[in-house]
Structures are given as C-alpha cells and as structure tokens.
Structure 1
C-alpha cells in the first residue's frame, strides 16, 4: 500500500458516511447498562422512520461521561443524551426531525467536556473502533507512512524527545530518552512492549483507549519500532479486559490485511508485527521486569536493575516498554510536530493526561486535560464537586500514590507538584473522598491491596506490607498505642527504601500521606502508653 491507496480508503469511507451520525457508546461501562440493546433499537428506529438515507447509527468507544451512561450523541447536531434506555431509542431518532426525546439531554458545553483537551482520546466516541477504514478516514496511519518514507529513525527519536512526552504509566520517565537508549543499542533483535496491565483500583484509562481507538496504539507501537530498529511488538493486557482484547485482535487482523502491519510496510524495507499476551491480573506485572518475565512464560517476578530492559529485556534483547497512553500520543506528535506538543502543559510536564475521575463526585468518568490544570479545577468544575458535602481528600496514583487534602486542591497537576506532596501521577487514577471518609480506612484498603499483590520475592515488601496492614487494623480497632504508631512509621520507611521494585517502594505512600496530612485521625484512635502506672506523653 502507498499513500495514494491510503488516501483513497479515507476518501471512500468519508463518502459512504451519512450526513447525520448517531454515536452510541459500546464500551464496557455503557455495555453494562445495556447499550447494545440501545444501539439495536436505534438502528431499528432509523429504518422505521425512513431515515436510512441520511442517518447512520455507529457503535463507538467511550465518550467519557461514564457515570451517566449509556450515552448517545447526534453528530453534527451536537446533541447528547444520557442514561438512555432501549425504550428511549425511537424518540431520539424522532427528535432528529423535530420531535422530543424521552432520554435526559446532556450539556456538551459543561466544564466536564469544555475544559478537556483531547489528544490521546481525540477519536474516542467519534469513530467505530472495529473499523480500520474509519480510523484511516480521520488521518490514521498517515503518521506511520510519514516516518517510514520521510524521516530517518534518528529524526523520529528527536521529534519525540523535542515533544517532552514523559511516560504515562508511572513516575514520568522521559519517553525520548528511553527510545534513544534502545535505538543506540547494537543492531539485532529488539522488541517493543505496550504495557496494558492496568491494575490500579479505580483506574480504567488504558482499557478505554484500547476499546475505543485500538489502531492509535498499534500505530504508535509501529512508529516506535521504526525509530528504535525493532521488528516485533507485544501488547500485554490483563484478562479482565475481554472487550479490549477482542478489539485489539480485530484491529491487528485488519492492519495485516491492508499490509500496514507485517512485512514491507507501505512498500518499504520495514517489517513489524504485533502479538497480544494476556496476563492473569497480577498487579506486580505492571512493573517492567515482572511484565517481561510474564511474557516469556515465567512467573511475574521483578528482577534487580540494572541491566534495564532497554539494554537487556525480553529474551535478553533490548526492549522498549511504554504504556498504552504513551503510545497513543505518538501519532499525533508525528502529525503535528514535537514543538506543538511541547507548547501544551507546563515546563517539565508536557501535553495532556487522561484521568479516571471517580469516588464521591457528581460527574465521574474519563477526562483528558492539559498538564498544569489544578486539582480544584478538575474536582470542583469538571467533576461538579461532591453532591452532598465537602471534599476531604483526593487520592492520585492508585496504590502507589498518596492522599492530598482539600487545603491543597489548588496544586497544579504535574509530575513534580504531585511528587512534592507525597503522591504521584501514576497511570491516572483520581479518587475523590468526602468528609465521611476515614483516612485510616483508606490507608488500610490500599495496604490490603498491596499485601495481596506482592510477588513475595523480597522480604521488605512480602513481610512489611503484611505488618503494616496488621498495624493499621490494630489502630482501627482502638487497640494500638503510640509505640505501634511509631512502628508503623518505621515500617513505611523500611519498605520504601529497601524493596526490590516499584510496587514495594511505593506501597507505603498512602499510609505516609495520610499520616502527614491527617495525623489526628490516627492519634484519636490510639491508646496512651502506660509505663509504671503513669501515662507516657509523646511529643
């Protein structure tokens, strides 16, 4: 396939599309609320009303406003309907001709939508994720063609470096630097790995991207393969994401059929194939070396670093590992240029970030916002605040992150600012808590999670998380004293600084942050120390 054939597919697809498109969300969240029946009834209503010549019903990916699904959008009329039931379908189609829809109408000008800047999710909710033609019609795979025919691998790496993109799966390691490291390794077998093992409680960003726009991730991986000299890639997805896996399989088959994946891509010497590996759902496999071990067929145990995967990774070969969201940024950066991307966000945190906004919040779902926006803007304006009460804390970064008090909601969302508060960006989970939330309970919840997910390879994580969990339980029962509290703090420090991998090193963060910002919730639960019949006062 050459550029002419690619553009012909795009033009043909656009010419076949009807003037009015009815977008019905068919991602996991809306499917759970019966959106497939909604779509079926919408299709039937179009025929019944006689609008088949100008109205097209399209099953699309996630629109973002997950708490109000199923969602249906009428394009280009810019009408949004929320909590749609199968019985509402006919009235929605009739409303296109001036009738009245029975489903609640949403507001696309609400801050939840208006404050977003979509790069990763630019196609989500707009195209059929199971149609490669629709992806090509919005410019898909043109960036891949561009890099193969108009850029050298070094120029691609330079473009990504200039963009300032940082890895979206954890602490934010510079993407360009990681790519450059792999590219500089001696010629030979190299691999690209997409980390889709999203295991944080309350996080569903990667799942949504894979379900809504799988070709965007495939294209990003292929561009990375060209840039670093890799001919094979793996997408590692947990088995709990069956729809994401299904749509990835469909997308890979479609790309192979058109010659966009496989041998001599776009009539070039570049070969690149992509495989899917399904994980059993171990949180530790989100760590690079544990993920590699799992792909190889072994137990998902991390290993000491160095050597880093960029030097010695999958089957001992140089391996580039980025997460889903990172790869989903690549095509847009190539298309618009690294300087364009670098103009968005803050000095050290460029671009946008996708968050799963959940918890005690009025508007919950997926949002994509420019780096540097404040937590208050996200929670109060976009999220609409807490329905009945006040915000007490916002937890970012999942089990590896921390709890940020309401007094610090004016903090900008970027890597350094969140780290300075004892939290982290992580993969993008953002859980809002109200005044009724016990922060000690929250700390125990995350510690229980980490205790169950430790691989057990190193003693600090294996034993330390268990002891921290038991101590937190003791505090909640009112059976702990000041000595137990001091022991908890010492355990946090030990586990953080002596664990083998990122799971153990970051596991104490929810405990440390709640001790730092909500100390009174701990002290009110502990008993005073009694020594020789006297109460020992701690300062």
Structure 2
C-alpha cells in the first residue's frame, strides 16, 4: 500500500470542452482577475429562478449521495437567519476533485456559495476544509475579492467519516466531528442551530456555472437525463492519473482504454468493484441502476499482474479503523468483515460468512459509512472470486501487492 501525503500538485484537465476547469493552470490558482476573464462576476439569481434551473437540468449533488440540489434548496425555510456551508472536507483518500477545485479554481467555488447565499438571503457562508494547500488557496482568493466579506474559511480535522456533512456540522458546532442520526439534517438544524444549506465543493462550482449559463446553456453538454459535466478522479492503470472534467454520459471505456474486462473500482472507497465497464457511462442514475454508483467520482483500475486482493484487505482494515465508534454495526461489524477479507488474502475465508456479516451491517448504521464499506468489501469478494480460489489453493497468487490507493500517513 502506498502511503502518501496530499500531493503538492494535482493533475487537473478537461476531457472535452471545459466548464468548471475552464482556463485553469495546473500548478496554481486562477487569480480574481483571471477568473473574471473566464467566468465573469457571479450571476446572482433569485431563489425561484435558481430552483427552477436546478430542476430543469436535474442538478445532482456531486458528493456521494447524488441528492437533487433543487430539493435541498426547496427544503430551506423562507426568512429568518440561515447559513450556507461549503463542505471541502474531502475524506475519500482516493478522490482529489474537491481539493483540485479549491486549489486551482477557488473563485468558482466562492461564486457558487455567493449565488446560493443571495438566493436564500443567507448572511453567512462557511467553507470547511482540512487540506492545508486548499485552505491557503481559498484564503488567498477571499483576500482578492471585494464581495466575500460574509465568507469564512475554517480549517477542520481530517478523516473519512469526519468529512460527512453531518459530522462537519457537529464538528463546527461542538468540536466532535461525528455524524448524527440519519434524520438529523442540516436544513433543519445546522451551523449554530440555524437552517443550513450544505453541499460539497464541486456542487457549488456547478451552481456557479448554471447561474451564469442558464438552464439551456448548461444543458448544451451532457445528456438529456443528466446535463452538464462532472469531475472524476482517475487512479491506477490509466493514461494519466488525476482529476478530469467529463461530459455526463461519457463512456467509462473511453476513460480507461485497453484491457477490456479488467477489474475496475467505480465510486471509490464506498464504491463497487466490477469486472467490466462495458455499457457504463458517467451518468449517476444509470450507474446506480447498474449497482455501481459514481459516489465520490473515483474510477480506479489496478495494474495488471498485481494482487488486488492484498490491497483490498489493507483498505478494508483502514475503512474499519475509520469508524466513529457510535453504533454497533460499524464498530463491531466492519472490523469483523475486514478480518474476513484478510483471511481470503491468506488463503482462507468463508464467502457465506461475509454474506451473513454484511447483512448484519448493511442499512443499520447511524451514517452511510457502514453501507459504503460493506459495498466495497462485498463487491470485491464477488469480483475477485477467481483470485480468492487461487489464494485458497496455493496460499498466495505469487503476484506483488497492488499499490494504487493512497492512505493518509496519520491513518496508516
């Protein structure tokens, strides 16, 4: 397992006509002057206009849940004190898309936050980010702008579960970055107890683009069912690892040329292992229907002739270690499942036991982490059935361990 810190430079590039990555430089942030030359000033829109536009383009959140953004906006009250929270706590170790945006295009993220704040009449915007380089980039961008006095950038703690939106809210409110119950939603009780519109960094950047282009202009890219573009992080055996902006509807095969039938992880550490990407596209509804949601936007392909099972075992243990320790299915169930995965790598293990334990965890956690971790582990066991058989017969497959996934140094 490769153990690295957040890279100094994140390769970021468009795959086709750029939107959120328009005009970027790969090694520094766009200045306020450069940003305005590309995107103009924020297109501040009334709440009704913004809600209608979000519905017209079926704008889905760019975090793991892909929740309709218009529904989230409509859930906010009319009048009274409220706030906007930009969640830049990208806890998925294999995903760099939000950190890339904050680092090379911070003004677009700020634009989106200002658009939402103006539509709601919110007087305060908080940007929560744990990555030091992204934090510095946002802080510098705010210093350049005359319109960002209401925005505060807060340096938060890192961690997979700590980046979940309810954990971020609790961390900012109480110092304890743990998610509340599944019904404890920010639009009801968010920062300082106020109704809070909260979403991840890429979602706000997409809102800024939508406000500027309008629904028709936004829909000029992508598909009828999901217009627009998405950021994805390519990892492993790819032409160039890094963050790409792709039109929705792009075939995954086009992003992963060669090696048809190779093992691929779609969605990151809460994602799904598949043996073929044939017919799969960057389309959230279609991927969810296929059983492999896009999640955090990570698409990873291990290198040929490596032991993927060994790396799955390491990541499974890391996922178990990320438990917030507040519910039994996560605290007890994930370590047990990680033990099962390690047993397979050692030439032992029981598929029936994994199925039983996964059923005891799935759908019973206080947050989405147990479900996502179970999906990662259980789909790996299915996709790696042939590899498991080889390990069971010989104790090992004889190949070097796969090492494509980064894990934070402090968590290793």
State whether TM-score is above 0.5.
Answer: yes
Q: Which residue of 2 aligns with 1:536?
A: none
CA distance in 1, matches of 2:262, 2:304: 5
CA deviation after TM superposition for structure 1 residue 400, in Å: 0.6
Tell me, what secondary structure is at the counterpart of 2:12? coil
CA distance in 1, matches of 2:255, 2:39: 30
Aligned: 1:461 with 2:338: no
CA deviation after TM superposition for structure 1 residue 246, in Å: 1.0
CA distance in 1, matches of 2:135, 2:228: 27
Aligned: 1:180 with 2:74: yes
CA deviation after TM superposition for structure 1 residue 130, in Å: 5.7
The C-alpha deviation readout for 1:23-70, integer Å capped at 9, x for no partner, is xxxxx85x56xxxxxxxxxxxxxxxxxxxxxxxxxxxxx6626xxxxx
Q: Which residue of 1 aligns with 2:191?
A: 314
Q: Which residue of 2 aligns with 1:55?
A: none
CA deviation after TM superposition for structure 1 residue 489, in Å: 1.3
The C-alpha deviation readout for 1:225-253, integer Å capped at 9, x for no partner, is 11122111111111xx2221111111112
Deviates more, 1:165-174 or 1:337-346: 337-346
CA distance in 1, matches of 2:113, 2:98: 15
Aligned: 1:212 with 2:98: no
| Aligned match for 2:117, one of 222, 225, 228 | 225
The C-alpha deviation readout for 1:232-288, integer Å capped at 9, x for no partner, is 1111111xx222111111111222xx2x123xxxxxxxxxx1111212211112212
- Does the aligned pair in 1 maintain the 2:11–2:241 contact within 8 Å? no
Q: Which residue of 2 aligns with 1:339?
A: 216
Q: Which residue of 1 aligns with 2:399?
A: none
Q: Which residue of 2 aligns with 1:118?
A: 18
Where do 4+ consecutive residues of structure 1 move more than 4 Å?
A: none
Q: Which residue of 2 aligns with 1:166?
A: 60
**Residues paired across the two proteins, number:** 388
CA deviation after TM superposition for structure 1 residue 493, in Å: 2.0
Q: Which runs of 5+ in 2 are unaligned?
A: 1-5, 394-412
The C-alpha deviation readout for 1:511-539, integer Å capped at 9, x for no partner, is 22223333233344448xxxxxxxxxxxx
Q: Please, what is the CA RMSD of the aligned residues?
A: 2.3
CA deviation after TM superposition for structure 1 residue 357, in Å: 1.1
CA distance in 2, matches of 1:442, 1:350: 35
| Aligned match for 1:201, one of 62, 73, 93 | 93
Aligned: 1:283 with 2:160: yes
Tell me, what secondary structure is at the counterpart of 2:362? helix
Aligned: 1:511 with 2:403: no
Tell me, what secondary structure is at the counterpart of 1:169? coil
Query: Residues 211, 63 of structure 1: CA spacing in aligned structure 2 closer, same or farther, 3 A cutoff?
Result: same
Query: Residues 347, 137 of structure 1: CA spacing in aligned structure 2 closer, same or farther, 3 A cutoff?
Result: closer
Deviates more, 1:390-399 or 1:507-516: 390-399
| Aligned match for 1:428, one of 277, 297, 306 | 297
Larger radius of gyration: 1
Q: Which residue of 1 aligns with 2:3?
A: none
CA deviation after TM superposition for structure 1 residue 509, in Å: 1.0
Tell me, what secondary structure is at the counterpart of 2:294? coil
Query: Residues 127, 188 of structure 1: CA spacing in aligned structure 2 closer, same or farther, 3 A cutoff?
Result: farther
Tell me, what secondary structure is at the counterpart of 1:138? helix
Match runs of 1:359-378 below 5 Å: 359-378=236-255
CA distance in 2, matches of 1:117, 1:449: 37
Q: Which residue of 2 aligns with 1:500?
A: 366
- Does the aligned pair in 1 maintain the 2:166–2:184 contact within 8 Å? no
CA distance in 2, matches of 1:297, 1:132: 34
Q: Which residue of 2 aligns with 1:400?
A: 270
Aligned: 1:64 with 2:12: yes
Q: Which residue of 2 aligns with 1:485?
A: 351
CA distance in 2, matches of 1:203, 1:127: 18
Query: Residues 142, 511 of structure 1: CA spacing in aligned structure 2 closer, same or farther, 3 A cutoff?
Result: closer
The C-alpha deviation readout for 1:458-503, integer Å capped at 9, x for no partner, is 11011111001111112221233xxx32111111222122111111
Q: Which runs of 5+ in 1 are unaligned?
A: 1-27, 33-61, 66-112, 263-272, 528-539
Q: Which residue of 1 aligns with 2:342?
A: 473
Match runs of 1:225-244 below 5 Å: 225-238=117-130, 241-244=131-134
Query: Residues 390, 164 of structure 1: CA spacing in aligned structure 2 closer, same or farther, 3 A cutoff?
Result: closer
Tell me, what secondary structure is at the counterpart of 2:227? coil
Tell me, what secondary structure is at the counterpart of 1:490? helix
CA distance in 2, matches of 1:288, 1:128: 28
